[in-house]
């Protein structure tokens, strides 16, 4: 984003650096065990029957494929994946663009993600207007960040188990 008026909003993580704790000033609240987010600021989060799959963020329903592993709908917007089915490329009419290697999400919904020095996690979200990070865009950002974190942690778990 080449706009001089762009606003960089920091994404904060817990002391271990593994769990998103705030998006700018918007705190993400977790359950007592600290394993599951229960609110995005004042927006409640609801999970499935077993409590493992996020089903609703405020008034926005989330639906998954028949195996329950891939997000298929965010509200009334269908989630589209690349040919391999491993990476989101669009949510409804909102395209998602990745870095030149295709590993890190860079832009979507008028927002740009900047990563930490190692490139392993998003550190800032850049918006041209603070109002761009409210309402539905905030929910989209949260859902996408949680999906990326889940994919990253499952990838790390599978690579560590295959290395033993």
Q: What angle do CA 42, 43, 44 make, to 5 degrees?
A: 110
The answer to the question of residue 142 being in a domain is yes
Rounded Cα distance between 129 and 29, Å, is 25
How many of the other CB atoms lie within 10 Å of CB of 8?
Answer: 13
Place of tokens 């077993």: 50
Cα 82 from chain centre: 17
The answer to the question of residue 1 being in a domain is no
The answer to the question of residue 2 being in a domain is no
Structure tokens at 2: 């080449």
| Predicted pLDDT of residue 133 | 79
Place of tokens 């509200």: 75
Residues 71, 147 contacting (CB under 8 angstroms): yes
| Predicted pLDDT of residue 52 | 82
Return the closest-CA partner of residue 41 out of 54, 29, 59, 32: 29
Question: What's the structural domain count of the chain?
Answer: 1
Rounded Cα distance between 8 and 6, Å, is 7
Task: Provide the residue range defining the domain that includes 147.
Answer: 7-162
The answer to the question of residue 106 being in a domain is yes
Local mean pLDDT, 10-residue blocks, the chain (164 residues):
75 88 94 90 92 92 90 96 91 93 88 89 89 85 88 54 46
Q: What is the pLDDT of residues 97-132, one digit of tens each?
A: 999 888 899 999 889 999 988 888 899 999 988 777
| Predicted pLDDT of residue 93 | 94
The answer to the question of residue 147 being in a domain is yes
């Amino acid at each position: 984003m080449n706009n001089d008026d762009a606003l960089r909003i920091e994404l904060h993580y817990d002391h271990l650096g593994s769990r998103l704790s705030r998006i700018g000033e918007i705190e993400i609240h977790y359950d007592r065990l600290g394993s599951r987010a229960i609110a995005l600021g004042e927006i409640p989060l609801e999970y499935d029957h077993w409590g493992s799959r996020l089903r609703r963020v405020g008034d926005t329903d989330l639906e998954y494929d028949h195996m329950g592993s891939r997000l298929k709908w965010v509200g009334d917007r269908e989630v589209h994946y690349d040919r391999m089915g491993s990476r989101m490329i669009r949510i409804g009419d909102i395209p998602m663009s990745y870095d030149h290697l295709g590993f890190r999400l860079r832009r979507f919904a008028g927002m740009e993600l900047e990563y930490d020095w190692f490139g392993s996690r998003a550190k800032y979200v850049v918006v041209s207007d603070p109002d761009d990070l409210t309402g539905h865009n905030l929910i989209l950002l949260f859902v996408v960040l949680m999906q990326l974190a889940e994919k990253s942690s499952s990838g790390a778990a599978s690579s560590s188990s295959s290395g033993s």
